[in-house]
């Protein structure tokens, strides 16, 4: 082996050592990245659990909203029924008030009183 071959061999060995150091450094970086990825995976699993909880809560809220809407529609129907009854009563009272004869002479006074008390929930027949 001559001196040139020996120098070449030393250069190759130096390069091999440098490559090994870089591989070790890269291995350390890879390990750090793997650790970070594990942390990211754990956080992702936590977020998925939280998302499932939020989804369940939103389903519960949606059900409650549906129940409230149904109840509201029922109440609206009751209000409409009461309004119709009120309008009928007002029309009757106006018709009765529009009569020029005294109510006692037409017999409408007693009839009007009976209708009003029936609407209020009282039964004059029972009294």
The pLDDT, as a whole number, for residue 125 is 47
Over residues 45-96, the pLDDT tens digits come to 999 999 999 999 999 999 999 999 999 999 999 999 999 999 999 888 888 8
Q: What percent of the chain shows pLDDT beyond 70? A: 76
- Residue 11 and residue 8: Cα distance in Å, rounded? 5
> What integer pLDDT is reported at residue 54 of this predicted model?
95
CB 85 within 8 A of CB 118: no
Residue 49, number of CB atoms within 10 A of its CB: 10
Q: What is the pLDDT of residues 7-57, one digit of tens each?
A: 888 899 999 999 999 988 888 888 999 999 999 999 999 999 999 999 999
């Amino acid at each position: 082996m001559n001196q040139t071959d020996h120098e070449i061999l030393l250069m190759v060995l130096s390069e091999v050592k440098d490559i090994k150091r870089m591989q070790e450094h890269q291995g350390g970086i890879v390990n750090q990245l793997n650790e970070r990825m594990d942390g990211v995976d754990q956080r992702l699993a936590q977020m998925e659990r939280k998302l499932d909880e939020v989804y369940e809560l939103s389903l519960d809220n949606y059900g409650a909203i549906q129940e409230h809407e149904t109840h509201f529609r029922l109440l609206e129907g009751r209000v409409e029924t009461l309004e119709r009854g009120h309008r009928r009563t007002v029309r009757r009272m106006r018709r009765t008030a529009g009569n020029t004869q005294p109510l006692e002479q037409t017999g409408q006074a007693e009839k009007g009183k009976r209708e009003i008390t029936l609407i209020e929930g009282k039964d004059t027949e029972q009294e």
